Structure 1
């Protein structure tokens, strides 16, 4: 089974309900795709709590459905975008799995990064689009047309060569900031298993060393980077505040990101968060 394996009827109903959408099957149009993206960004938080707790991140499609839909959790790109790929496939969209090298927050001359980001290509009658509900930073609430070397709707830009490496960037108050680089070469699901293992277990992986959480709220994108809470609006305004207490951080996870860790995991999670918030020497 892969993310291109359709849901059962019951799973499709449950996934639409998880997104707060009616059970009626939306037709595979661009307008409906945008509605699905926006709903997913608001209802499925990006989060790496399992990685911080050194739990196995199982990206088998059935395990992802159980975690994100039945247990009402979030996840990172291999979970969020794979679940979304199954949803879109089930609704009749043509989906291709792609892979990127994350560059968010890095200087332009930083060393090459590994292929650790899953994103999606969707082909419609009027052309190809890029979809990504699984990035922990800025996120487009609409499918982005695959048009190279021009500014895209909503403050996005795709540069490069269609037959080579492309670079996705988001406009910010300080200028264009690169999110990731990728190619349009279709990927095999089996290769993401190795990428997921690296991302969740390699000691220097960003997800092993930092709390990363994000979700959309109205016209803003909320994010947590350890104790740094950020709210970015669509017009580029940024509000930030620091959280220095693990219990307050747990409250923010519940109230702003709708994440409710299991009661049995709270002691270990509180201890892990306290360590992340401790001043570094």
Structure 2
């Protein structure tokens, strides 16, 4: 994990996500409980990027934004905060970088390492832990074991060995590909390896994702949240709700007021105080 510049306020974090075991130990049960609660309480969102605000990764700023102000953030924010919580509880945590394959056209070449994940050691086993991947955020840790279908509260996933899969462009390169099952087919989510990452690596990736004109987050409003049995996703003016029983439903949000209501009520985001600037940014969003 990256270094900590301030102590983590576990009581405030636990209150934010609704975790009630104040005497929690670094066990698999604790990891699963925290991993289930975090993405339900703290949404994925990029409002600060649209507002031209800096995205800060120091622990004090993350606690202020994601905990005290009841905002959300993107992967670097979520997983830095979550990893700090786990370390404070006594877990052994490593942070790594991933190349996002979801909706990526591989004819354009290899995507950069723009996603942060965590690997957590529990009972001599290693678990992939990720509470910050938008509409496909994991709601449970995954055992880092290849070719094992693992069912989570929000879908099935598996980890494959990227170096030996003949149908990928990663043949011969050590690493793993996370896949999710969509309508019976396995789709790649992201590719990662075990090359440790440091604060400087995340600072560069975070700067690109939050300021570069080609970044998805500079061009679009993105939000994600899980609830029991459902995934919520927002891309600009389109709200997607995937219900395990009723399938996927999409709704076009016709105006700024509808969008503000959805951000507040569905994604549980306490909107930033710069509402005029936010509305101006929303108006410019593509359909």
Structure 2 length normalisation: TM-score?
0.90
Task: Answer whether contact 2:5 2:60 (CA < 8 A) is retained.
Answer: no
1:28-177 matches, within 5 Å, as: 28-154=26-152, 155-161=156-162, 164-173=174-183, 175-177=185-187
For 1:85 and 1:6, locate their aligned partners in 2 and report how far apart those are by CA, in whole Å: 14
1:239-254 matches, within 5 Å, as: 239-254=249-264
> Structure 1 residue 274 and structure 2 residue 283: aligned?
yes
Identify if the C-alpha distance between structure 1 residues 193 and 209 changes in structure 2 by more than 3 Å, giving closer, same or farther. same
Provide Cα deviations, 1:127-159, integer angstroms capped at 9, x if missing partner: 110000000121222110001133223310111
For 2:272 and 2:197, locate their aligned partners in 1 and report how far apart those are by CA, in whole Å: 34
Task: Answer whether contact 1:45 1:215 (CA < 8 A) is retained.
Answer: yes
- RMSD of the TM alignment (CA)? 2.0
For 1:260 and 1:133, locate their aligned partners in 2 and report how far apart those are by CA, in whole Å: 19
Picking from 227, 234, 253, the partner of 2:237 is 227
For 1:57 and 1:7, locate their aligned partners in 2 and report how far apart those are by CA, in whole Å: 17
Task: Answer whether contact 1:173 1:236 (CA < 8 A) is retained.
Answer: no
Task: Answer whether contact 1:3 1:61 (CA < 8 A) is retained.
Answer: no
Aligned residues: 275
Task: Answer whether contact 2:6 2:59 (CA < 8 A) is retained.
Answer: no
Identify if the C-alpha distance between structure 1 residues 191 and 4 changes in structure 2 by more than 3 Å, giving closer, same or farther. same
Identify if the C-alpha distance between structure 1 residues 50 and 4 changes in structure 2 by more than 3 Å, giving closer, same or farther. same
- The aligned counterpart of 1:197 is 207
Identify if the C-alpha distance between structure 1 residues 234 and 190 changes in structure 2 by more than 3 Å, giving closer, same or farther. farther
Cα distance, 1:3 vs. partner?
Answer: 4.3
Identify if the C-alpha distance between structure 1 residues 117 and 126 changes in structure 2 by more than 3 Å, giving closer, same or farther. same
The runs of 5 or more residues in structure 1 that have no matched partner are none
Deviates more, 1:100-109 or 1:69-78: 100-109
Identify if the C-alpha distance between structure 1 residues 270 and 6 changes in structure 2 by more than 3 Å, giving closer, same or farther. closer
Identify if the C-alpha distance between structure 1 residues 23 and 17 changes in structure 2 by more than 3 Å, giving closer, same or farther. farther
For 2:5 and 2:60, locate their aligned partners in 1 and report how far apart those are by CA, in whole Å: 11
Task: Answer whether contact 1:6 1:90 (CA < 8 A) is retained.
Answer: no
> Structure 1 residue 18 and structure 2 residue 16: aligned?
yes
SS at match of 2:134: coil
For 1:183 and 1:67, locate their aligned partners in 2 and report how far apart those are by CA, in whole Å: 30
Cα distance, 1:76 vs. partner?
Answer: 0.3
For 1:149 and 1:62, locate their aligned partners in 2 and report how far apart those are by CA, in whole Å: 39
- The aligned counterpart of 1:216 is 226
Cα distance, 1:63 vs. partner?
Answer: 1.0
